[in-house]
Amino acid sequence: MTYNDADISHLELLRSDLITRAIEVIEAGAVQFCFVVDDEKKLVGTITDGDIRRGLLRGESLDAPVERIMSRDFHSLSSSASEQEALALMLRKSLHQIPGLDERGCVVRLFLLEELIKQEKRANFVVIMAGGEGKRLRPLTQDCPKPMLHVGDRPLLQIILEQCIDAGFQHFYFSVNYLKDQIISHFGDGARWGVCIEYLEENQPLGTGGALSLLPQKPLEPFLVLNGDILTRVDYGRLLRFHAEHQAAATLCVREHTTQVPYGVVHMEDLHVRALEEKPLFSHYVNAGIYLLDPVLLDFASHERFIDMPQMLDKAMQDGRHVAAFPIHEYWLDVGHHDTLQLANRDWGSL
């Protein structure tokens, strides 16, 4: 299937348009792609979700023009190309979209891989960490496991599960410990949702790595690991593609976090004042609690002692494994405090 000129006009950007506009265009559509044209409407660059995230990691501002992140080395076909030709090129080059150009170099068609090959259910496992005590949410978690606290009309863990099902995943493992019977009773074997749910039962807290060592079988495909207290709109299909494109052993989702120093900062050299900076802002990328791991990462898990994900990834990097960062600009919320739980209940339904 292809889109014609009338269908793709909303995907068109100018060089001077901002990166924030590219994000809006990509998130508003289903094709996860936009293109940049010059004053004569000729194609000069393409932008995918991966281009945006790589630009953010390089330090590009969301207010920078899209020409700073667009790919100039793009693939295209003649608008008269057949769908079979487009499919062959996309499979050969691992592409998900190819613009079809007229004789002037203007985009008049867009070939989409996911329309030419209808996506099957994903074979990737999903492991959701749902065993924590949720001490920061006491007294709410005194008699209720944190992932079973409601956001709107559903438990948080059910929201996470249903999002994953919508993304095509069908085989789940829940890592459980604290008040685990409530979780097992509610979700059972997953038949209510038409999926398979199994349980990794910790007799004592093992950390993320230790829990992964309880998997009864080694996955054949990269598998998703999620903290059971995260609400997000991350597109897991994009994450899977990013992981494959970067040939990573592990992909760690990261979120930009800004901290403001509440005082004026004095920059000194010895005892000489060189500059004064009033309440500066510092930005850092923080762990978002979402991981995509190749099965080889299980070699660094341990069932003999507590080992958390950062320790496991450190061991993998020391072994020379490539760990990629996937910056997320979509909605993300760590529902680990009373204020963020209130925020989730206030905002999630409207999203």
Full set of structural domains in the chain with CATH: 2-116 (3.10.580.10), 122-350 (3.90.550.10)
The answer to whether residue 6 scores a pLDDT higher than 70 is: no
pLDDT for 37-86, tens place per residue? Answer: 999 999 999 998 889 989 999 899 999 999 999 999 989 988 877 777 78
Query: Considering only CA atoms, which of 220, 241, 211, 226 is closest in space to residue 296?
Result: 220
The answer to whether residue 117 scores a pLDDT higher than 80 is: no
- For strands 77-78 and 97-101, give the pairing: parallel
Q: Are 214 and 25 in contact (CB under 8 A)?
A: no
Predicted confidence band of residue 2 (pLDDT cuts 50, 70, 90): low
Q: Which residue has the tokens 């998130």?
A: 27
Query: CA-CA distance, 324 to 199, in Å (whole number)?
Result: 28
Mean pLDDT across the chain: 88
The answer to whether residue 210 scores a pLDDT higher than 50 is: yes
Residue range 17-36: mean pLDDT, rounded: 87
Which DSSP symbol is given to 106? B
Helix axes 156-166, 180-187, angle to 10 degrees: 40
Q: What is the pTM of this model?
A: 0.69
Beta-strand (E) ranges in 153-280?
154-155, 169-176, 196-201, 223-227, 230-232, 250-260, 264-269, 272-278
- For strands 122-129 and 223-227, give the pairing: parallel
Q: Are 269 and 118 in contact (CB under 8 A)?
A: no
Q: Quick one: which H or E segment has residue 344?
A: helix 338-347
The answer to whether residue 304 scores a pLDDT higher than 80 is: no
Of 56-70, 246-260, 266-280, the least confident: 266-280
Helix (H, G, I), strand (E, B) or coil at 53: helix
Residue range 227-239: mean pLDDT, rounded: 88
Beta bridge partners of 266: 276
Burial of residue 323 (CB within 10 Å: 0-12, 13-18, 19+) is middle
Query: CA-CA distance, 202 to 173, in Å (whole number)?
Result: 13
Of 4-13, 35-44, 81-90, 297-306, the least confident: 4-13
48 to each of 56, 267, 280, 322, how far by Cα in Å?
A: 13, 40, 33, 22
The answer to whether residue 250 scores a pLDDT higher than 90 is: yes
